Amino acid sequence: MGQHWKKIWVGSAGNMVEWFDWFVYASFATYFAGAFFPAGNDTAKLMNTAGIFAVGFFMRPVGGWLLGRVGDRKGRKAALTLTVSLMSASAVLIAVAPTYAVAGYGGVAVLLVARLLQGLSVGGEYAASATYLTEASAPGRRGFASSFQYVSMTAGQILGLGLQIVLQHTLSSGELHSWGWRIPFVVGALGAAVIFYLRRNMLETEAYTEATAEGGGESPEQAAERGTVRALMRHKREAFLVIALTMGGTVAYYTYTTYLTKYLSNSAGLPKQTATLVSFCALIVFACLQPLAGALSDRIGRRPLLITFAVGSTLLTVPIMTMLKHAGSFWPALGLSLLALVVVTGYTSINACVKAELFPTGIRSLGVALPYAVANALFGGTAEYVALWFKKGGIESGFSWYVAGCAAVSLVVYLTMRETRDIDLKRVGAGAPQGEPEAAKVPAS
């Protein structure tokens, strides 16, 4: 049990730093938006920075392919070490990027390159982390163990918001807009360097080691095709399933995490400090819910939680977003934010293990990485930009219907997919439930 927890700790700690770097871009965008673009409408500036944020998502499929291939061919450890190296480099670039006053749009170019590197890194980090945490967990505890992926992701954002709160109370508004926004990127770069050292010494998972060892069960042809798109194409149904089940969850997640602070300040009219505090408190509760929901899925299965999320998100998104806009103060905003995140927990707590459980060991990392990155590029990364586009067009409520519609599509998938809780990850032939023939691996969707 000790080895399982050691693997989970190292994987989660690295994931936390990765997502700290990824999310501080969004949480500090209100401060540095004016530094890289000429004077103009505040919403237009946020749209520009949100557009660059979205560009990072469009690199995630490339990162998913590249680092997913590394994860399947060289090991989960190798992929996780490479992702944190890329993230550290991107944080340094943002920390030293010149402003518009100094270099014109040259600063935007540096910002863009940094976001492209972040996209590559996170595109591989999600799958490498999901695969590692799922494979490293004890039998019958995969839902609980893999839930720490979103615990660590959320912890990264909580640290970013916490740092923002500290800076808001120690620096003036002018100092934050002038240079204070660079501080979190320096912190992120230093944290990534520490995690790089930890990951260099982490243990490989037993499932990967056994599958790739001599006599592990792979034929020479399977070994040669490990981590390739050609091998992934033999699992087209599973790949499509990852995209479809991710669609509603990723839009809802980014709506109530990265976009929430901006929505509360830019639309609901709350002070930036209040909006940040609402997000900070809501995310602490959200992080604590993940292991509880993950453990519940180990007892009752993955599908009940996914279906609960999709039904709740489809029916409640429009009322929650409407009431949030008129919340007016801290407590109503916090209560509504918590309600939304409780619903989203049905997806976030278990989506990592569900996706990993769909694929065999030799294609698991790429199988999770590439379809998930495609779904995030199309839906997660654009969520904030779409929201601001609706706002600028004078039909802000349209975004709420968009989020609800995405959840409704995923609901259909959850209702028709098979249960994955009892799949044996060490069976090289692929995800058949223990004691069932290999033909049982094909989803019912």
In whole angstroms, what is the distance from residue 399 CA to residue 321 CA? 9
In whole angstroms, what is the distance from residue 133 CA to residue 143 CA? 10
110 C-beta neighbours (distance < 10 Å), count: 17
pLDDT at site 309: 98
pLDDT at site 434: 42
In whole angstroms, what is the distance from residue 114 CA to residue 103 CA? 16
- pLDDT (tens digit per residue) in 25-67: 777 877 887 777 766 656 666 666 767 766 777 788 899 999 9
Find, among 391, 352, 360, 386, the residue nearest to 267 by Cα. Answer: 391
Find, among 264, 190, 303, 207, the residue nearest to 4 by Cα. Answer: 207
pLDDT at site 437: 36
Paired residues of 423 in beta bridges: 433
pLDDT band at 341, cuts 50/70/90? very high
Report the percent of the chain where pLDDT is more than 90: 48
Q: Cα-flanking dihedrals φ and ψ of residue 433, to 5°? A: -60, 150
Least confident of 84-98, 292-306, 346-360: 84-98
Find, among 171, 184, 162, 163, the residue nearest to 25 by Cα. Answer: 184
Lookup: tokens for 153: 């992701």
The DSSP code for 441 is G
pLDDT at site 165: 85
Burial of residue 162 (CB within 10 Å: 0-12, 13-18, 19+) is middle
- pLDDT (tens digit per residue) in 234-271: 999 999 999 999 999 999 998 998 789 889 998 999 99
Answer yes or no: are the C-beta atoms of 371 and 243 closer than 8 Å. yes
Beta strands in 276-393 (DSSP E): none
Judge whether residue 403 has pLDDT over 70: yes
Judge whether residue 132 has pLDDT over 80: yes
